[in-house]
Chains A and B, each alone.
Chain A
């Protein structure tokens, strides 16, 4: 089955720790994206990548980092510099600038 997988589904961390969220796609899409969603809010773009070994900051990149070493994978690291990391994180992929397909999401709780 083609699709996007994110792991883990739920993640709990102590304040001050870095944490990496996984995103994998087998849709052969060039572009991949990371979004953050806070309760009752829309989605905000953190980082995106149009091709392997290249990525750009979105609207709220501070405190986050990414890598794109393989076409299929786009992991997101939430660093200790992110002031308020508790949120629902969604990964998406797409071909060219058309429709984006979303993964199931990771709910991160930092205490």
Chain B
């Protein structure tokens, strides 16, 4: 059974600090997705990682994928309050159209 685990589940950090969110998955997959969700809202796509070693950056966020380790990271650089949200990773089950979502990481950036 494919499992996707994120840690930490909750993260409270000061503005200006750096931190990394981890996403581990239990079976082979070459594609991993990161989404952001604001309270009461839908999911917004952040990054699509399609191969081993893929690295994408947008503003203060950088995502990477290591398919051999079955690990993706979302690194936050110099956090600002606007980054406060819940972040989900999702892995698609090989050979299917289906995603499995991680549990989510609720990030709160304190001013």
Residues of A within 8 A of B (CB): 31, 33, 41-45, 48, 50, 58, 90, 92, 94, 96-105, 107
Contacts and interface: CB of A to CB of B under 8 A. Distances in A.
B42 A105 contact: yes
A102 B99 contact: no
B101 A100 contact: no
A100 B111 CA distance: 33
Given A42-B88, A43-B88, A101 B45 contact: yes
Given A42-B88, A42-B104, A43-B88, A99 B45 contact: yes
A50 B43 CA distance: 21
Contacts of A43: 43, 88, 90, 99, 101
A95 B44 CA distance: 17
B99 A45 contact: yes
A102 B35 CA distance: 10
Contacts, number: 52
A105 B31 CA distance: 25
A104 B42 contact: yes
A8 to B, nearest CB: 14
B33 A50 contact: no
Q: Closest 10 CB pairs between A and B?
A: A42-B101, A102-B43, A43-B101, A102-B42, A105-B42, A97-B97, A104-B42, A99-B48, A42-B103, A31-B97
B98 interface: yes
Nearest to B95: A97
Nearest to B94: A97
Contacts of B44: 102
